[in-house]
A = this chain, B = another copy of it.
Amino acid sequence: MPLIEPDGGELVNLLVPENQRSASKSEAELLPKLIINEYHLQWIHILSEGWASPITGFMREDQFLQTIHFNAIRQPNGAFVNQSVPITLDISDQDYSRLQNADAITLSKSNGESVAILRDPEFYANPKEEYAARTVGCTHTGHPTVERIMKMGAQLVGGDLEVLSPIVYDDELDHYRLSPAQLRMEFEKRGADAVYAFQLRNPVHNGHALLMNETKEQLKAQGYKNPVLLLHPLGGWTKDDDVPLDVRMRQHDAVLEDGVLDPISTVISIFPSPMLYGGPTEVQWHAKARINAGASHYIVGRDPAGIAHPETGQPIYDPFHGMKVLQMAIGLEKLEIIEFKFAAYDKVSGTMGFFDPSRADDFLMISGSQMREYARNGETPPDGFMGEKAWQVVAEYYASIN
């Protein structure tokens, strides 16, 4: 069975072919330049590899408006692809004055390195407050995405991107950053007839593993012969109190070493998107990007991409809205949504088990702060909560920040 088709039918690849890179780099030196920040660079990475297929560059105004109003973009054939989060390049009024008549602009890192050429630029006003309100449903600057948007430049510039070389971070994690095309090749190599994606930005405990293993059994029961798990931690910008990416990757590797997940049917890779903490809006992006990487099934839990309200401390988004919106989303019809079943430590069996509300007292919820507490006290969580090597990685990390 072939893998699910990418949005728009063909995976976008904005990387200049190797035999033309030298010419493109020479051209880039001659064009007017715009310095980009780390966040822009992560989106260039996303765009260059086709995670946002069929989008071919920073959003033009018609794409931006469709994104914030409809979470979907109409294709020339009339069909809709899902696109719930804006992918924009903001610039200052000064840069706008300087660049407004350019036919092409070179996007450069602050160290001067040219990253990409933006062709046929289209400038439009950045409606910051509306951008924030319609994307994350809130305009309080205590929300990190609202804060980011309100600090953006007053103009946005869309255009078609040509990326001069593969985006790398030299953080010893680049080998985990498989592009959608590489992931598709990997799934094909493994003979996958179903790919189920699990997005996370936390350590994997045995409750997660239980869920992922059970999902595989379910898919087999439905007739799939070889379901493959895409364990796909988000690797772009996250807020400071999330567990750092390098720790998470070592922990995920240890989970495979512990034998809690089957290495043969599991692909671990990094999803290079930054976080928006945009709840039901952002979870659509997480799902849509995985379609482009070949996923046919997507696991969604409670309060995906959620965050506490900066004033009340309560979740901004209703914890069930993410799943409900995902199931109704325009352009995600071909993706099968799998409901995350909540697992907790069952004190009776001494293992992680699916939570049974009829005997709630038998279950122990072990949160991030509880794990931190165990690490501080040199204790280990109950047997069966997490594989041994995986716990060591977590314990060392928490010990280091305590």
Which residues of A are at the interface with B, using a C-beta cutoff of 8 A? Answer: 61-62, 65-66, 69-72, 74, 80, 84, 125, 127, 129-130, 132-134, 136-140, 280-281, 316-318, 321, 324-325, 328-330
Contacts and interface: CB of A to CB of B under 8 A. Distances in A.
A304 to B, nearest CB: 14
Contacts of A317: 127, 130
A70, A140, A280, A325, most chain B CB atoms within 10 A: A70
Contacts of A138: 129-130, 133, 139
A72 B72 CA distance: 11
Contact of A61 (B70, B80, B127, B324): B324
Given A66-B328, A129-B138, 5 more contacts: A65-B321, A69-B71, A133-B136, A134-B137, A138-B139
B129 A80 contact: no
Contacts of A328: 62, 65-66, 70, 74
Contact of A281 (B69, B280, B318): B69
Nearest to A331: B70
Contacts of A140: 139
Contacts of A72: 70, 330
A382 to B, nearest CB: 34
Contacts of A281: 69
Nearest to A324: B65
A320 to B, nearest CB: 9
A247 to B, nearest CB: 33
A155 to B, nearest CB: 12
A318 B68 CA distance: 14
A238 to B, nearest CB: 22
Contacts of A127: 137, 317-318, 321
A57 to B, nearest CB: 19
A322 to B, nearest CB: 10
10 contacts: A65-B321, A70-B71, A70-B330, A74-B330, A130-B317, A133-B134, A133-B139, A134-B134, A139-B140, A330-B330
A62 B129 contact: no
Contacts of A125: 318
Closest 3 A/B residue pairs (Cβ): A130-B137, A133-B133, A139-B139
A69 B133 contact: no
Nearest to A309: B129
Contacts of A80: 330
Contacts of A132: 133
Interface-centre pick from A61, A71, A329, A330 (highest chain B CB count, 10 A): A330
B324 A62 contact: yes
Contacts of A133: 132-134, 136-139
A280 B131 CA distance: 13
Contacts of A325: 65, 69
A200 to B, nearest CB: 23
A163 B219 CA distance: 48
Candidate in A62, A66, A139, A317 with the most chain B CB atoms within 10 angstroms: A139
B65 A316 contact: no
A62 to B, nearest CB: 7
A137 to B, nearest CB: 4
Nearest to A84: B69
Contacts of A136: 133
Contacts of A134: 133-134, 137
A294 to B, nearest CB: 25
A164 to B, nearest CB: 33
